[in-house]
Structure 1
Amino acid sequence: MMIRSIDIGNFGAFKDFSWRAQVRDHGENTQYFKKLNIIYGRNYSGKTTLSRILRSYETGTLPPKYKNISFDMTIEQNTYTHKDLSNHSLDIRVYNKDFVTENLQFLSGSNEGEIRPFAILGSENIEIKEKIEKEQTTLGSIENKSGLRYEALHKKKKYDEELKREEQLSNNLKSTHTRFANDIIKSNRDYGDAKYNINKLYKDIEIIQTQSITKLDSYTVNQYQKSLLDTPLPDILFHSATPLSLENLYETSKSLLEKRVIPTKPIQELLDNPELQAWVKTGINLHKNKKSECGFCRSKLSENLFDELSLHFDKNTEEFEKNALKKIKDIEEKIHQVNNQNLPDIDSFYENHKEEYKTINKKINEESKQITENLCALKSILSDRINNPNTIPADSPKKIDETGYRKATEELKELISKNKAKTQSLAKDNEIIRNKLRLNHVLEYMEQISLLDKEAEIKSQVAICESARREWKATINKINNIEENIRKFEHAIKDENKGAEKINALLNHYFGHKFIELRAEKNEDAKFRFSVFRNNIPAFNLSEGECSLIAFCYFIAKLEDTETAGKNLTIYIDDPISSLDSNHIFYIFSLIEKIITAPVKNENQPNTYKYQQLFISTHNLEFLKYLKQISIPKIKINGKDKLDYGTFIIERSNENSKINIMPIYLKEHITEFNYLFHQIFKCKDEPTNNSDCSHFYSFGNNLRKFLEIYLYFKYPSHKMKDTRLQLFFEDDPAVKTIAERITNELSHLDGGFERGMNPIDIPEITKLSNYILEKIRTSDKEQYNALLDSIGVKNITNLPVPPQPGTKGGQAFVDVGAAKADAETV
């Protein structure tokens, strides 16, 4: 797995940088990162920004104080954005300013902070290391499909499958419960609970199962449903009409009927004919005012007729009649009472009382009817006796029994009391009914879905799932125990002193620093820290060069720490030679070559390398020169060895950086001389509107350094130091003056504030560039052609002819030089 390319939408000096669109060779083919990558860029060009992108993927966090960051990194065929910093599988280690700041705060110059310690494996702990390897073999790996980790993966998979089945069964039943609770029970107004939910359903199921609730029959359900229709009813006003002393009335009436009535002087004819007697008695009352004449036949009545009749209808008869009429009146009152009781309307009763009331009402009516018939019979006998007071009836009247009637009315009173009590407890009773109906419905639902079977199935699956979980956990516990043993073993062989010794060995072996060393010391919390010593005394105020050496040796040594050793690393090294002299620059290169890039020789096998992918960036041309001697990895393509090596350059133009293929003169040659020549050569043509003008701004520096190198080798004598320019320009004072002015003014702004505030004179630079190139061509054609070849340019012969003193061209230089001289004088 290797990084192929990086696209940067917005980060540091990069804006809208597209790798495929910009990193192309002369054949316009996109070039990608290789196994080994050398990157050159001048200071502030964007090298550190590039290193920070890789370090973001190392740490999993974006660097602070940047706004609207946007970049992508392509690893093989997969692209990871700035939001996917932790999703890749590379082991990245980056050396840059941020690494130094994070790990070596003591070297910041403030003498504050610390140098983070790290531990490496002690060489004397081979036996413990073998134990660790044995434990690691027992653990195995998922990738290799071996050991406890692979076993745990399968057991976890089985547990997940059983858990998924358990959850599916539980969720299916839960969904069924939820639909029933919400769609059936909750929406049924008979049950009166608008907040009914699955939790209440669980409680109802528990009540049914623990209290052994049985199913209601359809009639009871129907009655309960009717009861729920009841609304509070008014109290029933009912006064019992039960006849009082009917037995006494009967007995006194019977005694009266059995009493003999004997007239003072009876008239036998009337005695023998009760109807006639009754007719006569009625006629007496009709003839009280007509005693002389019969009202029926108009015959004359005898004078003593009424006297005779009065002896027959005497006081005894009159008294009997009076008593009999009184009894009849009493009987009629009782009949009225019995038949006018004002029984309650059936709708005055609640639904569950109506049937009972119908039964009681029927009984009362039947008893009332029987009593009325008996009273009417007694009344009739008394009426007949009045008409025939002298004759005792042959049969006794039927006895009147009011027991059944009295019992029925008492039952009615009790029912009315129950009805009244229901009014007082109606809400509570309805709640009880609703609970019974709801529980009955839930019970029907439980039977319908075979709840016991489903619960038994879930319970069985829970047991299976728990068994699988225990097996998985048992394996995990074994893994944890082994990992704990490994940690103990590693702790036993971790040695922070070894880390410090490794750094010291690098400092001593590669750089000869025998007097500066790092020591691992314990602080008050028994934690290690690295401290810097010089000649056995704590060292402070280290030079920049010392800080650079210690920091880079720290990084190289840390590649062997316990967190890194053995991993296939992607390494990025950003400018490790800051503030170092030439000797130390070479030693840095030697350290990289020896520790990182030198191939590992394998007998009868291809060479291998200690890194998966390596990036080295620098601004230093001397260091770049050494990097051209670095060991380059090879790969087999179509059976042939091919260098797996990429060279790139980062350039900044108009505040925007970009990455390109490294030019041939930088890639193939090993001196700054070629680079400076190419920069001057690029100034021979004036730029177009969209051209890069950065080489014009650096022209003064580049020209000064180039002429110093070129003229030194042309005139190496120290006696010629002050005359080299004059000799080169062949006593042309105008050209010498303009060259001196451009090299001095454009390479040094101190004392020339106005120059720094004014735009550069590009036509003047172009004219001088062409003059210098032509001068070299005419004076040293072979070297000129070699320089052109070194920068990948074919021989050019159409450069302007150098102006000669006194010519028009020469005068032009004099005029320009004179104008600038005047300006300087002012």
Structure 2
Amino acid sequence: MLKSIEKIKGLGVYQSYSKPAGTQDFGIKNLVYGWNYSGKTTLSRLFAQLETKSANPDLSGCEFTFGTADDSITEKNFSQCNLSVRVFNSDFVRANLHFDGGSFNPILLLGKESEKAQRKIDELSKRIKRSEEVQRNVDGKFEELKTRIAQAKTDTAKFIRQRLKVDPYTATHLAQDVVVVGVLDSQLLAEKGLEDAIELALTPDSRKPSTVEELRAAPLIEDLHKEAVEVLAATPSFSNTIKHLEENPAIERWVQSGLALHTGPGTCEFCGNDLSQDRLEAFRVHFSKDLTDHKERVDGLLARVKAAVYSLSWPKAAELNSQFRESYTVAVEALPAVIDAFNQAIRNLTEEVQRKADDSRKAMAPTPLAAGLEKGIKDAADTVNLVIKQNNELASNFTKVKADASRKARYHYVQQFMNDQAVTGMEQQKTRLANRSDRLKAYAARLRPEIRHLQAQISQAQQGREKINERLASMLGSEAVQIQVVMDAAGQDRFQLIRKTGAVAKNMSDGERTAVAFSYFLTKLQEIKPAEFRETIVYIDDPISSLDANHIFQVTAAIRALFFKQQDKNAPWHTTCKQLFISTHNFEFFNLLREIRPVASNKGARLYLIRRIAENSSTLEDMPASLSRYQSEYHFLFEIIHRFYKAPDKTVHEVLMLLPNAMRRFIELYTYSRLPGPKDSEHVDERAEILFGAERAKRILKIFHYFSHGNTLERLAGNNELIFDLEHAVKDLIDAITATDKPHMDALMAATQA
């Protein structure tokens, strides 16, 4: 239950409203009186937000606080309040009724013969409603997960775009990559592999790597060693040898080399003695052809062994692309050791062949050769060449390899994203929620045909039509516009306004529109079940616009019949709803309503006044005793005028804000009561001239025509110097009535002082 409006800020004429001290809390029935433009409709719109639980754009930026028995309701939490509220105002009329001949939503009331079917419909509707509530909750969770996943995709795509300099690369591109990576084996790279891929992907074309020569390794020792085994083991055959030479190999070699210089007998070039033919022949016999051939073979082997010493040069690591330098350096490290081992074996073999050359008659055997000397060099070179080939392949296909590296790094991060998502389980949760939402939709879809079948058995719209038509006939008579039920293109019941002739009702009068709108609202309230209606707050704003006095009685009777009940004629009135608020500018209607005084414990009827107190400021306060004691607006209007007349300070805003409309309305009522001709045949100016005289009437009315209706406050705020004209106009009016109708003036004075 609403107790009060504690504050309103930034809303129309309620720019800075705070509940006046001492203002009584709301009761069960609350009547609010106020003239046009005082803020009644604005107040009803504030209540309407409690009904819709959604913000009205026209009320955007305002602040408010409703006091309740529990927590306060504010602009921040009103959408969560559990109050049931219904509001009738101009917004309701615009939203629900078409006065251009179009159809509008029907009111569905239950007929007695249809109660069983309706109970079944209600039961099915509750199940559908519950299903839809659960589905909305599920869909909300689904959307939340979807948002979180989308944000994760956006963040990951942003990271990939910035890390790999891939542009554009959005969440959409990531989603496409997820599909591709999803059917591949894991695309995660080792730390080093990822670093290399990123470095290559980011390498500019200006730093494209160059190719380097591969190593050509052809070491030779195994065949030489085999030959050395054979040669060192061989000894030449001799027929006649000179023992001294045989025993002195060095002398033998010296003699053999000098023998070629002495082709015939003669003087020895070394000692000068004669060298006989026999001696020469003995030397030639000693150096046989077999020995010569053997020596040549040994010398030839020695020369080839010496030439087999191996040397190899290779590119510097800096000549290769950076991603291969580390593996290249590791591969090259093996080469010096295997080359040194090979060359040491060559040196050993050289020494052994040399010894054979020095003593060719002696059989020898070379040291056994270590296994894998040639293969060690070849394998090490092949390992180095493998790295060089990779480098050269990169250099030759730089654009493609760079793209592949970028793709590998990208797929690595995509795989990482997929793994992270799998750990959180959000995608699986999203799938489960989507499936559950589909099941709930299907469940509700299965129930709706059954509801339509039951609805076909009854016509709630006809019940609503009859109730509205009863009210319209009561308010407007037998010739009143009526409601008929029509079908729309979808086969659903709709309401349409028609004349008694059956023609679609168009160009309706303001009175007809008011009667239709309020009848529609009252009947629509009967859609609410009694138990729920007892917990509903109803706000009605000016339901008698453009209705004459007779119709005002009918509206009052309709309100009494729906909202107030008596157990018997002597019992007090009780409201059928939780709280009722009615605001009006019509004093006669106000008086009729306040005669109904509901009683419920210590809370009954409350009377309030809305009045403008400044240009952009209205206040809601308890009804002044001076107004609540009058049974006529006429007396209240005179009291306002008389208070100004007697006020020592005519510039007090509390008086000024009420005066222009009060003066104008009073003159209309007074002149009409004195000259009660047809209302439309004479203007208030004409009646005033007859009663007060042309000159005085002009002085009285000129200033109040200027300060009238919605312009009153604005004009007063900008024309303070005209306040003195107001004072003279009021004095002229008091003087005129006193002079021409003193008994009337005396009666007014007596009534206001009672």
- Do they superpose with TM above 0.5? yes
Paired position in structure 1 for 2:460? 495
1:573-607 deviation line (CA, Å, top 9, x unaligned): 111112222111111101101112x13649xx998
1:379-418 deviation line (CA, Å, top 9, x unaligned): 2224xxxxxxxxxx6xx522669x9599744664565455
Out of 344, 351, 355, the position equivalent to 1:377 is 355
Letter in 1 for 2:356: L
The SS at the match of 1:258 is coil
Matched, 1:344 2:337: no
In the alignment, is the contact (CA less than 8 A) between 2:331 and 2:380 conserved in 1? Answer: no
Matched, 1:365 2:344: yes
| CA deviation after TM superposition for structure 1 residue 623, in Å | 0.9
In the aligned structure 1, how far is the partner of 2:313 from the partner of 2:706?
119
Matched, 1:587 2:554: yes
1:619-666 deviation line (CA, Å, top 9, x unaligned): 111111201212x33343xxxx44252422333654643333222232
Letter in 1 for 2:88: Y
Percent identical across equivalent pairs?
19
Out of 651, 661, 664, the position equivalent to 2:622 is 661
In the alignment, is the contact (CA less than 8 A) between 1:262 and 1:317 conserved in 2? Answer: no
The SS at the match of 1:314 is helix
1:487-520 deviation line (CA, Å, top 9, x unaligned): 7646754521211111112223455436542111
Paired position in structure 1 for 2:599? 634
The SS at the match of 1:42 is coil
Matched, 1:121 2:110: yes
| CA deviation after TM superposition for structure 1 residue 38, in Å | 0.8
CA RMSD of aligned residues (A): 6.2
In the aligned structure 1, how far is the partner of 2:284 from the partner of 2:75?
134
In the alignment, is the contact (CA less than 8 A) between 2:32 and 2:581 conserved in 1? Answer: yes
Could you tell me the TM-score, scaled by structure 2's length?
0.66
1:173-229 deviation line (CA, Å, top 9, x unaligned): x9xxx9xx99xxx9xxxxxxxxx9xx99x989995899xx9x9xxxxxxxxxxxxxx
Paired position in structure 1 for 2:494? 529
Query: Rg larger in 1 or in 2?
Result: 1
Residue correspondences, number: 644
In the alignment, is the contact (CA less than 8 A) between 2:215 and 2:314 conserved in 1? Answer: no
Paired position in structure 1 for 2:16? 17
The SS at the match of 2:558 is helix
Paired position in structure 2 for 1:677? 638
Greater Cα offset, 661-670 or 697-706: 697-706
In the alignment, is the contact (CA less than 8 A) between 1:651 and 1:659 conserved in 2? Answer: no
Paired position in structure 2 for 1:508? 473
Matched, 1:258 2:237: yes
In the alignment, is the contact (CA less than 8 A) between 1:6 and 1:71 conserved in 2? Answer: no
Letter in 1 for 2:598: P
Matched, 1:70 2:71: no
| CA deviation after TM superposition for structure 1 residue 668, in Å | 2.7
In the aligned structure 2, how far is the partner of 1:541 from the partner of 1:208?
75
1:90-137 deviation line (CA, Å, top 9, x unaligned): 33222222222222221xxxx443443222222211222343566689
In the alignment, is the contact (CA less than 8 A) between 1:572 and 1:616 conserved in 2? Answer: yes
Letter in 2 for 1:697: P
In the aligned structure 1, how far is the partner of 2:615 from the partner of 2:421?
75
Paired position in structure 2 for 1:802? none
Letter in 2 for 1:17: S
Q: How does 1:705-720 map to 2 (within 5 A)?
A: none
Paired position in structure 2 for 1:55? 48
In the alignment, is the contact (CA less than 8 A) between 1:42 and 1:651 conserved in 2? Answer: no
Q: How has the CA–CA distance of structure 1 residues 209 and 129 changed in structure 2, closer, same or farther, with 3 Å as cutoff? A: same
Matched, 1:645 2:606: yes
Letter in 2 for 1:260: S
Letter in 1 for 2:31: I
In the aligned structure 1, how far is the partner of 2:82 from the partner of 2:330?
79
Paired position in structure 2 for 1:31? 24
Paired position in structure 1 for 2:204? none
Question: Any unmatched runs of 5+ in structure 2?
Answer: 165-173, 191-209, 316-327, 395-400, 677-686, 708-714
Paired position in structure 1 for 2:167? none
Letter in 2 for 1:99: F
Q: How has the CA–CA distance of structure 1 residues 252 and 624 changed in structure 2, closer, same or farther, with 3 Å as cutoff? A: closer
More contact order relative to length (CA 8 Å, sep ≥ 6): 2
Out of 94, 100, 106, the position equivalent to 1:101 is 94
Letter in 2 for 1:556: L
Out of 82, 87, 110, the position equivalent to 2:80 is 87
Letter in 1 for 2:349: I
Paired position in structure 2 for 1:547? 513
Letter in 2 for 1:617: S
Paired position in structure 2 for 1:144? none
Matched, 1:314 2:292: no
In the aligned structure 2, how far is the partner of 1:617 from the partner of 1:47?
6
In the aligned structure 2, how far is the partner of 1:495 from the partner of 1:621?
38
1:553-575 deviation line (CA, Å, top 9, x unaligned): 11111112379994432222111
In the alignment, is the contact (CA less than 8 A) between 2:107 and 2:464 conserved in 1? Answer: yes
1:657-698 deviation line (CA, Å, top 9, x unaligned): 333322223223211232122122122225454524144434
| CA deviation after TM superposition for structure 1 residue 616, in Å | 0.9
Could you tell me the TM-score, scaled by structure 1's length?
0.61
Q: How does 1:562-573 map to 2 (within 5 A)?
A: 566-567=532-533, 568-573=535-540
The SS at the match of 1:121 is coil
In the aligned structure 2, how far is the partner of 1:318 from the partner of 1:234?
57
Letter in 2 for 1:47: K
1:296-355 deviation line (CA, Å, top 9, x unaligned): 9xxxx9xxx625x55234365388289867865663453343234342359778634755
In the aligned structure 2, how far is the partner of 1:608 from the partner of 1:139?
36
Question: Any unmatched runs of 5+ in structure 1?
Answer: 142-147, 187-195, 216-230, 383-392, 447-451, 714-723, 729-734, 791-826
Out of 583, 597, 600, the position equivalent to 1:617 is 583
In the aligned structure 2, how far is the partner of 1:644 from the partner of 1:238?
114
Matched, 1:704 2:672: no
Letter in 2 for 1:18: Y
Q: How has the CA–CA distance of structure 1 residues 695 and 356 changed in structure 2, closer, same or farther, with 3 Å as cutoff? A: closer
In the alignment, is the contact (CA less than 8 A) between 2:737 and 2:745 conserved in 1? Answer: no
The SS at the match of 1:424 is helix
In the aligned structure 2, how far is the partner of 1:255 from the partner of 1:779?
171
In the alignment, is the contact (CA less than 8 A) between 1:520 and 1:530 conserved in 2? Answer: yes
In the aligned structure 2, how far is the partner of 1:695 from the partner of 1:704?
14
